[in-house]
Structure formats: structure tokens, C-alpha cells
Amino acid sequence: MKQTASAQQVINRLAERWAKASKSSAPCRLGREPRRCRGGGCSACTPPHEFEIDREIAQLINRGAFRRPGKCPYRVVASHLVVGLTLGPEPARARSAGLLRLDPVAELKSARKRIGSLLFATGLSRDDIEAISMSNESDRRQALYAVLAAERALEKALALFQSQVPAKTSRSPRGRTGALHNQAVARAMALAWRQLTERLPAKDNAKFQGLLLAAIVSIFGHPGEEPVDRIRQEAASRS
């Protein structure tokens, strides 16, 4: 599968699915009914097929890797990935090293677009708004001028952020921050595996290695390089 979504978009999508599943009243029936050979879920489940991690989870379900009653692997994996990649210690260290979790250029462009729509709806040009605000001190006119000033401030901020973006960027994180994110995914998957199987993965567990690789590919589009045994030991020390 060719990866086109950014890491943040994948995390956002997993968070949306997790929130939606949390509000669902349908309980997971995995482990409470005869195991299916195909289907990638229980009778109450419509398995997602958005990312590589979804396909890997489906295969593991079909192979009987997850048997804990009432534990939906899709929901468990999504919750650990979202929390691990937003609130865990590795993302915190990555942000302190200078990596922004959100794309400031995209966020500023979005905000500028919304402000532009608001100004357009007034039927006035920006010059008109500025001229009227100087001769009319009504609250509405001053509010419109404040919006105009905000647009200009956003344009300055956008120019500054764009000047810091390299000519070519890679979707996959590299260097120290990339290693930290790989560690965060490995830790999240180890904890999800423990919740789904009641044990942490062994170093040579091929099923877990496949799940971990699928998670990293789904989010960053490249295989991980961090050893899993150290992540496993750290997760065990926190249990």
C-alpha cells in the first residue's frame, strides 16, 4: 500500500475511530464466540481496511492470536498508538528536540482561509475596512479591523514558518526524533499486545514483529530500526 497521508493525519484518523468506538454500545464478542477463520473480527465488528496495521490485525485475529474476551484489537491498538504518540515520553522528548507534532504551515493556511471567508462575507474590501475603522469607532467596525489585523499577523507568521521549511522534506522522521517516534510506536504496541494477550511480547515473537512493523509503516511509511527487547523491558518495569 502506498502511503500518502502524513503521520499526523493517520494519528488523527485513529483518534477519530477510537472515539467513535468508545461511544458504541455494541460490545466486542471476540473470545466469546467460536473463532472465525476469515473476516478479521467478531460478529459485531466491521473491520477497517484503511491502513497496513488494520490488515495485520485482521490476519492476527484470523490466526487466533487475540483471545481475551471483550478486547477489540482494533480499539486497543488505536488507543495505545494515539496515547503513545501524543502523550508518551518519546514524543515529549522529540518535541523538546524541535519537532512540532502539528504542521504549523498547514494550520496557519487553514486559519487564514477561514478569516478570508469572514472578510469576504462583509462585502467590503480590506482597504474599505481599514478606512471605515479610522472614521467610525463602533464596536462592529473595530471588530472587523481586528479581524483584518489578525489576517495580516497570520500572513507574517506563515512567511516565517515557510522560510524554515527545507526544499525537500521526507514523510518519515529521521535522526534522533525519528528514533524517538519508533520507540514510541514500539512501546505502544508492546503495551497493546500485553492487554490483548496478557503477556508482553518475546524478543523473537514473529507475530508481534509483524504488528509492530505494520504500525510503523502505517504511520511513518518506513520500517523501524529500534530494538524491541529494550522497549519490552521498559514496558515491563512500568507494570
pLDDT digits (tens, 9 = 90+) for 142-188: 888 888 888 888 888 877 766 655 434 345 555 555 577 788 899 99
Mean pLDDT value of segment 44-54: 84
Mean pLDDT value of segment 92-112: 67
pLDDT value of residue 110: 84
Closest CA to 222 of 162, 179, 160: 179
Least confident among 67-71, 96-100, 152-156, 199-203:
96-100
pLDDT value of residue 57: 92
pLDDT value of residue 34: 66
Q: Do 220 and 172 touch, CB atoms closer than 8 A? A: yes
In the three-class reduction of DSSP (H, G, I as helix; E, B as strand; rest coil), residue 207 is classed as helix
pLDDT value of residue 85: 84
pLDDT value of residue 126: 85
Q: Compute the CA torsion angle 29, 11, 194, 207 (nearest 10 deg).
A: 90
pLDDT value of residue 65: 86
What sign has the CA pseudo-torsion 107, 222, 50, 84? Answer: negative
pLDDT value of residue 227: 45
Q: Where are the domains of the chain?
A: 7-97+173-237, 104-163
pLDDT value of residue 37: 59
Where do we find the cell 519508533? 182
Average pLDDT of every residue of the chain: 76
pLDDT value of residue 238: 47
pTM score, whole prediction: 0.57
Least confident among 64-68, 163-167, 210-214:
163-167
Q: Do 7 and 18 touch, CB atoms closer than 8 A? A: no
Residue with the bigger pLDDT between 177 and 7: it is 7
